[in-house]
Copies of this chain bind each other. A is one copy, B any other.
């Protein structure tokens, strides 16, 4: 199938699929007219990438996951470790965002928010 069809079926933009080829994540062969020709296995890889990227794995992590996916003698522990590490990362990000939110909403709560110029948010940013 052509790249447009592969894009539709994988949920990835064609541009992204070409980019994934450029960085060695997929290797479709070419039709006689020079068009990329995607096999079902290629499509599986693309779908796999779409999902794992959607779960927040970096390209390099996806590369690793793909190699585990295609390695029949993988240990599930390896995959689980990656998933748990990612969960830890997510937890750290959530904590950071929550702390940011707390600061910002405290500032916003103190700001009367009318047409007068005095504003505790600005004051705080200015460090005064």
Q: How far is the CA of A122 from the CA of B66 in the complex (A)?
A: 9
Interface centre among A47, A83, A87, A116 (most CB of B within 10 A): A83
Chain A contact residue count (CB 8 A cutoff): 52
Please, which residue of chain B has its CB at the minimum distance from the CB of A121?
B79
* SS class, residues of chain A in contact with chain B: helix
Contact between chains at A69 and B113 (CB < 8 Å): no
How often does this chain occur in the complex, in copies? 2
A105 surroundings in chain B (CB, below 8 A)? 87
Q: Give Cα A91 to B105, complex, Å.
A: 11
B125 touches A48 (CB 8 A): yes
Bound together, the chains give a CA A59 to CA B27 distance in angstroms of 38
